[in-house]
A and B are shown apart, each in its own frame.
Chain A
Amino acid sequence: MAIKERMSGNEAVAYAIRQINPDVMPAFPITPSTEIPQMVSTYIANGEIDTEFIPVESEHSAMSATIGAEAAGARSLTATSSAGLALMWEELLLAASNRMPLVLALVNRTLSGPININCDHSDGMGARDTGWIQIYAENNQEAYDNFIQAYPIAEQESVHLPVMVCQDGFITSHAVENIMLLEDSAVKDFVGEYCPEEYLLNPGKPVAVGPYSVSNYAMEAKKNQEIALENAKEVILEVAKRFKDISGREYGLFEEYKTKDADYIMLIMGSAAGTAKQAVDDLREKGWKVGVLKLRVFRPFPAEEIAEALKGCKAAAIMDRCESYNGNGGPLGSEVLAGLFRHKVMIETVNYIYGLAGRDFTVSDVCHIFSELDGMVTKGKKPRQYQYIRLREQEAADE
């Protein structure tokens, strides 16, 4: 029996953690993720779960302790945002290369500077090549659902990699919405007991984790890690199928919203996908054939599947909530284009940068973008690439 509730994204993730009752949670507070460890501490204080909470002195230590606990044989997790994730950077790579199936609840917030506490994806995108699986949520329901699916993905033998469960700071983490929760027992059965085969605190079966590796071995280890990330794609889909059986909710590598007959598709990630869907509904009423491809799994990157999903449209808007500072667009822009080219899908695309550091992104912005795509296809206009949406510009001010 599903439970109808209303809660914020942070509450939803903390609730999922309570239901899973993991073994160890080292954490250090940072806006907007602070509520997660705070709420988990309350569950612990109330005796609802017996998770060992470690109040560490920094995020560097938070991730180190999470790795240590996981290596010792404990199901472990932490939560962070923005600069907290940046301070974990060194350990993020170690978590992945040591093949630790731990979970990190990331509440996306911009990276400084300028210093700012609001949402964009620059923290998650900064960690995109650390070897982690990254799953992004549109709303509190998805943050909850993705968190419950995280351990079964991470702990799968063919994967054994850490998972970052991402939700948009404030927009999702602090806004209260309706949510359907699962029964505690259903979550416990779904996630199961953690029984690692090899771990440090295993008397009589000594192991060394993360040993120094000479050049003759390091490259092979990296290849194996890359294969595990590729394996994750199939495992994510299998876990999603099992999750549908208990929840009725369907998940894939991405969601295709009214894309089947669409001339123009917006590829977007996170909470702004909801805004884009509203615009699609409005435009469809006026006869526009438009759709949204909402990317859920950013790592492993489903390049081939995206190319296949976009090949029928005339033009796509690729939406980045992150500036890459490479003079060539955002991370999604670069990776989607590379995927399209490799699979010889030669549609028109425009890369847009939106919502940096919490800048508004509205239904009318989406409509404007779709009409720009239409102008490109029907009137041969060439829109500016990786242009900023809602940027105050001299020209506009003078008009």
Chain B
Amino acid sequence: MRTDVTKINEKTPHEQLTEGLMMFAGGTSRYFNTGEWRTNTPVFHEEKCRQCLLCAPVCPDSSIPVKNGERLAFDMDHCKGCGICANVCPFGAIEMKEGVE
């Protein structure tokens, strides 16, 4: 029987945790808000963006969503503010600002 991991939380007694803390679900990193770690924040200047899409695949946290061939606004719940996208953008459409937004 698979444990429904969404029912496990920080109050769950040890007897009800999964064996070896195995996760019985896919894509669970979505629930882990790495955006809390951010100390720098990327700012998107849409007017400079040419939709070349070089930034999206290099983001280590999949925080640049792409829909219908166009990049959308940053996913700030998961962006760690590493600045890789800003370095990659050839058109200066991403600027790193100090601090959390």
**Interface positions of A (Cβ within 8 A of B):** 97-99, 160, 198, 205-211, 213, 216-217, 220-221, 223-225
Please report B residues at the A interface, Cβ cutoff 8 Å: 2, 10, 12-15, 17, 19-28
Most chain-A Cβ atoms within 10 A of its Cβ — which of B2, B10, B14? B14
Whether the Cβ atoms of A198 and B14 lie closer than 8 Å is no
A217 and B17 form a contact (CB under 8 A): yes
Instruction: Report the separation of the CA atoms of residues A84 and B99 in the bound assembly, to the nearest whole angstrom.
Output: 48
Residues in B neighbouring A223, C-beta threshold 8 A? 14
Name, among A98, A160, A211, A225, the residue most crowded by chain B CB atoms within 10 Å (CB to CB): A211
Tell me which residues across on chain B come within 8 A of A224, comparing CB atoms: 14-15, 17, 19
The listed residue (A97, A98, A198, A216) touching B24 by CB distance below 8 A is A198
Q: How far is the CA of A300 from the CA of B13 in the complex (A)?
A: 24
| Complex contact B2–A205 (CB within 8 A) | yes
B91: min CB distance to chain A, Å = 36
Q: What's the least CB distance linking B52 to chain A, in Å?
A: 33
Tell me the bound Cα distance from A313 to B10 in angstroms: 50
What are 26 A-B residue pairs whose CB atoms fall within 8 Å in the complex? A98-B20, A98-B22, A99-B20, A160-B19, A160-B20, A198-B2, A198-B24, A206-B24, A206-B27, A207-B24, A208-B22, A208-B23, A208-B25, A209-B22, A211-B22, A213-B21, A217-B10, A217-B17, A217-B21, A220-B12, A220-B13, A220-B14, A220-B17, A221-B20, A224-B19, A225-B20
For residue B28, which residues in chain A have a CB less than 8 angstroms away from its CB?
A: 208
A207-B23, A208-B25 are known; give 15 further A-B pairs, CB within 8 A. Answer: A98-B20, A98-B22, A99-B19, A99-B22, A160-B20, A198-B22, A205-B2, A207-B22, A207-B24, A210-B20, A211-B23, A216-B10, A217-B21, A220-B14, A225-B20
- The A interface is mostly helix, strand or loop, or mixed, namely loop
Residue of A nearest to B12 (CB): A220
Kindly provide the distance from the CB of A89 to the nearest chain B CB, expressed in whole angstroms.
19
Which residues on the B side are within 8 Å of A225 (C-beta)? Answer: 20
CB-CB < 8 A to B22: which residues of A?
A: 98-99, 198, 207-209, 211
A97 and B2 CA atoms in complex are apart in Å by 19
Docked CA distance A217–B11 (Å): 9
Note all chain A residues with C-beta closer than 8 A to B14: 220-221, 223-224
| A160-B18 Cα distance, complex, nearest whole Å | 12
Q: Which of B17, B23, B24, B27 contacts A221 (CB 8 A)?
A: B17
